[in-house]
Amino acid sequence: MTEEQNILDYIPYLFDRPCKTLLTGRDNVEFDIPSEMLIARYKPIKDDIQKKTKHPNRKTVKVKSIVPPPDLSEVEKIKRNESFSLFNPTHRERAHKLIRYLMSISDSESFFAACIYYRDRLNTQLYIYAISVAILHRKDTKSVTLPCNVKVFPQFYLNNEDFAKIQEEITVIPETKRKPILVQLRPTANDLDIEHRVAYWREDIGFNLHHWHWHLVYTTGSTQADIKVVKKDRRGELFYYMHQQMIARYNFERLSNQLARVRRRNNFEEPIVEGYYPKIRDLSTNRDFPSRQPFSFWKDVHREIASDGTVVEVNHVYRWRDVIMNAISDKQLLHENGSYISLDSEKGIDYLGDVVESSILSINPKRYGDLHNAGHELTGYIHDPEYKYLEDVGVMGNNATSARDPLFYLWHAYIDDIFVAHKESLAPYTKEELEFSGITVEKITVKVDGGQDNILCTYFQQDETEISNGLENCKRGFVKVRFIHLQHVPFTYHIQVNNKGAKRNGTVRIFMAPRKDERGEEFTLRQQRRLFIELDRFVYTLQNGSTLIKRHSKESSVTIPYDQLFSPDKKENENNDYYCKCGWPDYLLIPKGTTQGLPADLFVMVSDAEKDFVPDTNSQTFCEKKECKSASEYCGLRDKKYPDKRAMGYPFDRLPDTSLISVPKLKEFRAPYKNMKAKKVVIKFDPEVREMPNEDDEKLLV
């Protein structure tokens, strides 16, 4: 193994206690950093620091000198101990300035040295974000696996009460005597606030890790110089579809808890009824995330005197919304070069996604603005829009924490309405686009392990993860937290398909939606189609005659397993890459349901895989790689085209054709097509928490 390959093995150490200098060493490794690369504070005391932490069995890693580095003084203007927000254009530009430099470095040794050089100089959150994006996109770091974010910034996922227990355990108890610390399902409110019923879902660690990671893969950039890390196949459409699925799943969860579907925030003058008190701390700033009182109002943000320099006004959002909606009405976008881009059925949603978010792929940012990001900023600074009280941004200003806030869903439901307006302007799918001649889905059965057919079972389960590498200002040593999350009993789809023709491939698409609304009335198809969550999508070879397709829930191409999400620092093979960590947590595949049983519709469609096929995606369609399990529906494939030619959400992304027959409900929609079938299922919730077995029958620290 070459020296260049060796140095990549030490990249994970860059994420270890990122607020602390690497001069102190980590585990059995110490870094020999040239004095000229150290900050002024450490230069005269380098030997003293290393002598204090010296360990006789440590391996010394020599770091290459890269002095003088390029001038990144603009990036250094964001102080190490202040908050960082990618929704802030100034912060975004400075982060991507560092990313551009890291991407330009030709060799691995120099890249690692540059990461070392800037680690003690730059804002901690900016630094971790920038090196993560660079590692994800550099060719020489494809084999590098990084710690998941809960092991880098555990404070974004655990509340202050949990950290008090952690501090006590790590300070007082010897490492060999420590017990896992149980993180209770403690919502950030009580029963007086009905929104707390779904706090277990909004504040779930794995779900928020997914959201953080997705935005690492699909970074927005700040200038056209960032095109190398931003431009990906169907990126704008993925922004639409991934967030649409988040909203659909959230609504499914709300109906499981006797709550109405989420309201759209479409009147920006109205007060925001929902308050939010996050009860989490940003350890890099040593401040709690600010709270938002109920009935707060959006106000113009003018923080020119703050280091973030944020300026965004409510009328900007109105203006950008109107211009975008007019473009949808006209079925075309105006390019900044004066030409018009058609919002057609093939590429329109992709252009629109880049415009609405917006990323550097927006075809006219001056005209269409920064709509999605501005909503996050107006909410994130709602508590101190003029910087009178020197407060930092709230949870809506951070991709690691924004999905915890109920307002995230009101805002994204509104953003989704914009995309739906475009989708509803398109012609319905024709018979030819929906059918698969000669293919009949005859029967669907869901076989639940140890349970009744077609009754999906959910419950709360304990799991644990180790977080000591992210604990600043604490002694070294093993620290585990045990937390509670939603889980389902594993199951297998049994799908009987008949093929009247020769052997051919079909794409099996599996969706599920709640059958009844908050009043107990059955949904119309126009309502229900926006609530369908995708459960799986895969290619299957159909022999002539009858074929029984068996597909286990753990094989879902939407999800990734727990160990892959929470233990990414375990290097399984040389081909493991950071895309493998992108995906919906498999334990959240199925919504909670109710103790009585929530009725739902399971929908299966088999489409023609030859028409769905996209070249340059390998034969392992939908990222069913041997080296990792990735959720390509939400994350795409690294350096390849999205592995499905159909529109994301097909066949429910457009309105049904009602010109010939009435299509009030799902039954009427699928009736003309033998390649579609629906099955009534029930989701039943067991409220008992299933505990993990404790070693030596020791009790947890509760």
Closest CA to 155 of 462, 408, 395, 460: 395
Q: Count the alpha carbons within 13 Å of 203 in the hemisphere toward its beta carbon.
A: 28
Closest CA to 487 of 686, 198, 256, 634: 686
Cα–Cα distance for residue pair 573/679, rounded to 1 Å: 40
What would the two tokens of residue 298 be?
Answer: 């959006």
Cα–Cα distance for residue pair 392/283, rounded to 1 Å: 13
Cβ neighbourhood burial of 171 (10 Å; 0-12, 13-18, 19+): exposed
CB 343 within 8 A of CB 351: yes
Place of tokens 């028409």: 611
Cα–Cα distance for residue pair 371/379, rounded to 1 Å: 13
Cα–Cα distance for residue pair 547/606, rounded to 1 Å: 13
What would the two tokens of residue 237 be?
Answer: 């459409």
What would the two tokens of residue 261 be?
Answer: 């579907």
- Give whole-number Cα distances, 18 to 152, 437, 664, in Å: 7, 58, 55
Cα–Cα distance for residue pair 368/452, rounded to 1 Å: 52
Closest CA to 510 of 538, 472, 471, 530: 538
Identify the sign of the CA torsion 355, 582, 282, 53: negative
What would the two tokens of residue 552 be?
Answer: 């286990």
Cα–Cα distance for residue pair 496/543, rounded to 1 Å: 12
Q: Which residues does 437 contact at the CB level (< 8 Å), separation at least 6?
A: 501
- Give whole-number Cα distances, 262 to 82, 274, 410, 549, in Å: 33, 11, 6, 36
What would the two tokens of residue 282 be?
Answer: 């940003």
Cα–Cα distance for residue pair 157/204, rounded to 1 Å: 8
Pairing between strand 480-488 and 181-183?
A: parallel
Alpha helical stretches, state H, 175-271: 199-202, 205-217, 227-230, 235-256
Ramachandran assignment for 591, one of left (phi > 0), alpha (psi -120 to 50 degrees), beta (any other): beta
Given the residues 30, 357, 534, 633, the one annotated as active site: 357
The torsion angles phi and psi of 190, rounded to 5 degrees, stand at: -125, -170
Cβ neighbourhood burial of 304 (10 Å; 0-12, 13-18, 19+): exposed
DSSP string, 17-30: STTS-GGG-BTTEE
Ramachandran assignment for 660, one of left (phi > 0), alpha (psi -120 to 50 degrees), beta (any other): alpha
Closest CA to 199 of 245, 258, 254, 156: 254
Cα–Cα distance for residue pair 536/629, rounded to 1 Å: 13
The torsion angles phi and psi of 14, rounded to 5 degrees, stand at: -65, -20
For the question of residue 357 being annotated catalytic, the response is: yes
For the annotated catalytic residues, the residue numbers are 357
